[in-house]
Amino acid sequence: MSTQRVIVTYSVPQPFLSSDQWTQLHGALSAQLPLRNIHWKPQTRSSIRTIQELEVQLVPLNSVRDENTSQVPYSLLEKPLLNIYVVICEVKHHPRRFL
């Protein structure tokens, strides 16, 4: 049985890439891979389908080549299945004043 792998891209602000938080986040994502026991029910069938194990390749979004975007891929697995965007928000706490 051949192993099929799906591509999942991620985009992270450059300063965050060198932080401990990114190392922890990337490690937590990677620890969940490969995905196992994925169940779904196609609309055209009455039975539930299962993928026992699905390999996932995490790659930076900017590493996906743009020149292939207009071409029809051989299979859907050649294109990113999911794009993850990490957004950093700073929350500054201001003391509230009650009148």
Q: Count the alpha carbons within 13 Å of 83 in the hemisphere toward its beta carbon.
A: 10
pLDDT tier for residue 21 given thresholds of 50, 70 and 90 = very high
In a domain? residue 75: yes
In a domain? residue 33: yes
In percent, the amount of the chain with pLDDT more than 70 equals: 77
From start to end of the chain, where are the E strands? 5-11, 35-40, 49-60, 80-85
In a domain? residue 93: no
- Encode pLDDT of 48-74 as tens digits: 999 899 999 999 988 886 555 555 555
In a domain? residue 11: yes
Provide the domain limits for residue 67.
5-85
In a domain? residue 99: no
| Count of domains forming the chain | 1
In a domain? residue 91: no
- Encode pLDDT of 77-93 as tens digits: 677 878 899 988 877 77
In a domain? residue 92: no
The sheet carrying 80-85 orders its strands as 35-40, 49-60, 5-11, 80-85
In a domain? residue 20: yes
What pLDDT score does 1 carry?
A: 47
- Beta pairing, strands 5-11 & 35-40: unpaired
Q: Are 57 and 8 spatial neighbours (Cβ–Cβ below 8 Å)?
A: yes
